């Protein structure tokens, strides 16, 4: 039985996991993928093999799986059954914020965990949930290597002008700067382009990672130059429940005039704004596309409008544009949104191939288009697995057995 790398992407109510087999030449093959969702309410686990066949499906009462440690235990129990008790050689984790301290994937130690906990206020929806399974594994399997892979790392090579806010130097030095997020997704797209469109991989492209969380990134010759997200994951594009770019005076207004406390403002900005706040209906683009309510149309039009504005801004950062890539849940699966965006980019020379777009083709621009528009599914988990294997390469081959 081959060695494996386990990848974990933990959220507030779910844990997504994938298992990759490590071949003799250190290439990775996806063995299975799954998730346990509804943690604490209606916990449900489903796991599928690389062909999509269901390997296991199970549900439990909410009290049986109240939080991340219990959910992770269910995942480990399934893997023990499926793999005959053999542990992976390492576990790779998506961690949203790496601050100024971490610019590359990092082997997890107690010191690393303590530093990452400092960034919880900068990513309150993500960071605590990212760290929860890490801590659980440290407690239960302390000798199993773990690697943190950061969404901020890909952007750490930004020019200083792209990282700065117009605030005093001491704040910048302590880490108040533009970080950018979704870096694992952007890194994967940049790497994928080297094989499917080498001319674009060497050129100037904008990648739109459009999902419940959404951002855009200007990439030149495979490197991030600028991004729509900043100090936290609130900035830039409107998202499912987050507002995106916002006048800081609005926060002062909520604090001073509306009497909201800091925790109340945090909950409001992370949970009640974005497409949900604009539409008053849903944060789900699929629901809004099917709705005939004018507020749903307003929310979607605003979403497209802001994407178009940010595309102009990032094109200026690149000093030109050769390609535009759609990725993530909305980018990969919502042809109506893609069509609306490409039409708004006509001034840059983009021309939509309507049929290719509706069919979900890889290239959705016409041959006459001055900008090549593509749809490329992202694979953050593969990037995490590759980084994890690279970090642990000297230790590759160590074996361990699951203990129950």
Residues marked active site are found at 151
Q: What is the 3-state secondary structure (H, E, C) of the chain?
A: CCCEEEEEEECCCEEEEEEEEECCCCCEEEEEEEEEECCCCCCEEEEEECCCCEEEEEECCHHHCCCHHHHHHHHHHHHHHHCCCECCCEEEEEECCCCCCCCCCEECCHHHHHHHHCCHHHCCCCHHHHHHHHHHHHHHCCCCCEEEEECCHHHCCCCHHHHCCCCCHHHHHCCCCCCCCCHHHHHHHHHHHHHHCHHHHCCEEEEEEECCCEEEEEEECCEEEEECCCCCCCCCCCCCCCCCCCCHHHHHHHHHCCCCCHHHHHHHHHHCCHHHHHHCCCCCHHHHHHCCCHHHHHHHHHHHHHHHHHHHHHHHHHCCCCEEEEEHHHHHHCHHHHHHHHHHCHHHCCCECHHHHHCCCCECECCCCCCEEEECCCCHHHHHHHHHHHHCHHHCCCCCECCC
């Amino acid at each position: 039985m081959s060695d494996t790398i386990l990848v974990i992407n933990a959220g507030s109510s779910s844990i997504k996991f994938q298992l990759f087999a490590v071949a003799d030449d250190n290439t990775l093959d996806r063995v299975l993928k799954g998730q346990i969702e509804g943690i604490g309410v209606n916990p449900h686990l489903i796991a599928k093999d690389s062909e999509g066949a269901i390997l296991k499906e199970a549900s439990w009462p909410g009290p049986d799986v109240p939080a991340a440690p219990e959910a992770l235990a269910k995942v480990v129990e399934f893997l023990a059954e499926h793999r005959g008790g053999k542990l992976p050689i390492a576990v790779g984790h998506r961690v949203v914020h790496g601050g100024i301290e971490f610019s590359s994937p990092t082997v997890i130690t107690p010191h690393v965990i303590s530093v990452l906990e400092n960034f919880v206020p900068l990513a309150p929806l993500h960071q605590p949930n990212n760290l929860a399974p890490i801590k659980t594994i440290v407690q239960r399997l302390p000798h199993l290597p773990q690697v943190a892979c950061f969404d901020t790392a890909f952007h750490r090579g930004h020019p200083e002008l792209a990282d700065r806010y117009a605030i005093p130097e001491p704040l910048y030095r302590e880490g108040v700067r533009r970080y950018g997020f979704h870096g694992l997704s952007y890194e994967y797209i940049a790497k994928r382009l080297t094989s499917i469109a080498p001319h674009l991989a060497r050129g100037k492209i904008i990648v739109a990672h459009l999902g419940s969380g959404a951002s855009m990134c200007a990439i030149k010759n495979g490197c991030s130059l600028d991004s729509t997200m900043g100090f936290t994951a609130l900035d830039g594009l409107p998202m499912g429940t987050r507002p995106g770019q916002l006048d800081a005076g609005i926060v002062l207004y909520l604090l001073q005039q509306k009497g909201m406390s800091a925790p109340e403002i945090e909950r409001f900005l992370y949970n009640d704004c974005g497409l949900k706040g604009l539409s008053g209906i849903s944060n789900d683009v699929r629901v809004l596309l099917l709705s005939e309510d004018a507020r749903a149309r307003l929310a979607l039009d605003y979403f497209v409008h802001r994407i178009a504005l940010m595309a102009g801004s990032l094109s200026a950062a690149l000093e030109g544009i050769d390609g535009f890539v759609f990725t993530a849940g909305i980018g990969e699966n919502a042809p109506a949104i893609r069509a609306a965006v490409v039409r708004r980019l006509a001034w840059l020379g983009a021309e939509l191939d309507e049929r290719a777009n509706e069919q979900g083709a890889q290239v959705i621009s016409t041959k006459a288009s001055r900008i090549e528009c593509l749809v490329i599914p992202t694979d953050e988990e593969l990037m995490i697995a590759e980084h994890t294997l690279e970090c642990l390469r000297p230790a590759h081959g160590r074996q361990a057995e699951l203990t129950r």
